Structure 1
Amino acid sequence: MVRRVALQVHLPLFRQGVTGEEKSPGELVSRVDREAERLLINGLADITPGLPVIGEEAASEDPSLLGALRSERPVWLADPLDGTPHFLDGSPDHAIMLALVDRGQTVFAVVHQPQHGRTYMAERGGGTWRDGVRLHREPADPDNLTSLRGGVLRRFLDPDARQAVERNESRFGDLVPRSKCAGVEYPRIIEGQADFMLFWRTLAWDHAPGALLLSEAGGVASRPDGTAYRADDDRVGLLAAADAATAQAVLRGMGLQEG
């Protein structure tokens, strides 16, 4: 269903002059976001009748919809175009993402990268797969911070976190992420192209899919206090990393965790 949506919307409209508009300061929405969200909601209604679907664009207009994540029945999260600015700029680094959340825990996830032709899927307890190939992330080298490849998405850092990162960034190598798209950054860690990524704003549709993919492949998505990510937890701060030891080393190295 996700691939079909990409064939109907994302692929034919890519690099065809689609423009965006601001839905909030610095946040863009486009025809692709809206059309894809409608098709995803309809498709999920056919596959799992009766389960609520929270689309990013609908929740942006009505944040109260996210209250369903704390209900007693499963709910879908749908991000119809993660990386809208990339899509509008003609970059292939964007994705469609889905997550099925049951009482705060993500139990199933799909991340599809239309232009790269890759589909990642994970089920809780069932591993992470890319187009039928099971993926496993090997541990990084947490004892050598300069050898770790990663980045920090700085836009939403609060003043204390920003000061901590700026004070300690010289302990690491280059902290500039390749993209600002969760649907690209989580798979990069899983595939061994990066070792960590620090996010600060943690909207559920951005992180529920990737966090499950990463954890089922052997990595971790950890809050600064060391707790694992949950889709019903809207606190700021989230480190995606190759393994638990790397996550702890990065958080301590950045001054975001005591130790």
Structure 2
Amino acid sequence: MNRPPMPIASDLLPAVRESCIEAGEIALALFRPGEKTAARTWSKSGGSPVTEADIGVDTFLRIQLSVLLPDAAWLSEETVDDALRLSRRFVWVVDPIDGTRAFMSGSPDWAVCVALLDEGVPILGVVHAPACRATYTAIRGAGAFLNGAAISASQVATLKEARIAGPKPMLDALARLEAFEPADKIPSLALRLARIADGTIDAGLISPDARDWDLAAADLILNEAGGRMTGGEGQPAIYNRETPVHGMLVASSNGLAEPLLRALQRLRDGQPQRI
């Protein structure tokens, strides 16, 4: 089957980055640092919260990104899923506000996330955290950047030196096996990965049920910064499946990946104590 030429990600990135920054301004208009958001809020059918800012950003990005690459399909947290994406080469994967609860409560740790998949593989990623004044970008094979400056994951190679973020039950379980330094809570999964990419923290744990839109952009940024995110058996994340849901994931600098996976294997094997 004849396919169109792959878009040059470096040509698309400036416009995607600018679109994310503009989208962030839409959300910032309703964000109140340290206070409850000014946005109208309600609960989705599964009980998770959504705000008018999520919907406004989603609508804006769908218009902007569809102009940039009209043939690409669309997968977003705030849009009804369309199975057409399964047959398309290119897919935009969008989380209008990753960390909605943080946004609602006045915490700065939320982000606008956009990834472009080519045959299920992220080739472009932007994680823009407006309240933190941080914009992470990456193109496959071209490195990762924070506000235009190259970033890289830490060189820490032992768990006892590592700063690790994640859900408290997962951190508590790991602490029964290995000594490490718990990092401050980072409610946005994308920012958790991005802060591993820039060396702010060394590793992160992600509980089951994360979705493609939580991960795809930041996964690419982390990979390009010299880190990796895998399942508990070391397998890479697979995107644009029929059900875009993931199991437990671990993310770290490359040097920590094997020690972290070995510790989790011991946990699964029923060795809940340090050795």
What band does the TM-score fall into relative to the shorter chain? 0.7 to 0.9
Where 1:85 maps in the other structure, the secondary structure is helix
Q: Give 1:43 deviation, angstroms.
A: 0.4
Counterpart position of 2:175 = 169
Matched position secondary structure for 1:137: coil
Aligned counterpart, 1:188: 195
Contact 2:160/2:180 (8 A) holds in 1: yes
1-side partners of 2:253 and 2:45: how far apart? 33
The correspondence of residues 43-62 of structure 1 with structure 2, limited to 5 A, is: 43-58=64-79, 62=80
Q: Secondary structure at the match of 1:197?
A: strand
After superposition, the C-alpha distances for 1:39-93 in whole angstroms (9 at most, x for unaligned) are: 00000011112211222111xxx4x53x455434111011100110011101111
Measure the CA separation in 1 of the matches of 2:72 and 2:179. 44
The residue type equivalent to 1:113 in the other structure is A
- C-alpha distance in 2 between matches for 1:183 and 1:28: 18
TM-score (norm 1): 0.85
CA distance in 2, matches of 1:190, 1:24: 34
The residue number in structure 2 matching 1:133 is: 149
User: What is residue 14 of structure 1 aligned with on the other side?
Assistant: 31
> Aligned pairs, how many?
242
Partners of 2:76 and 2:95 within 8 A in 1 = yes
Whether 1:219 aligns to 2:227 is: yes
Q: Secondary structure at the match of 2:115?
A: strand
**Distance in 2 between the 1:76 and 1:6 partners?**
18
User: 1:88: which partner in 2?
Assistant: 104
**What is the DSSP-based 3-state SS (H/G/I as helix, E as strand, rest coil) of the residue aligned with 1:13?**
coil
Query: Where in structure 2 are the equivalents of 1:115-154 lying within 5 Å?
Result: 115-142=131-158, 145-153=159-167
Match of 1:102 among 118, 142, 154: 118
Q: Of 197, 201, 212, which residue of structure 2 is paired with 1:204?
A: 212
| Whole-angstrom CA distance in 2 between matches of 1:10 and 1:247 | 35
* Higher mean displacement: 195-204 or 76-85: 195-204
TM-score normalised over the length of structure 2: 0.80
Deviation at 1:107, TM superposition (A): 0.7
CA 1:177 to 1:199, structure 2 compared with 1: closer, same or farther past 3 Å?
Answer: farther
Match of 2:48 among 7, 20, 27: 27
- RMSD value, Cα: 2.3
What is the CA distance between 1:128 and its match in structure 2? 0.6
Please give the alpha-carbon distance, in whole angstroms, between the structure 2 residues aligned to 1:90 and 1:125. 36
CA 185–38 in structure 1, closer or farther in 2 if over 3 Å, else same: same
Distance 1:74 1:133, change over 3 A: same
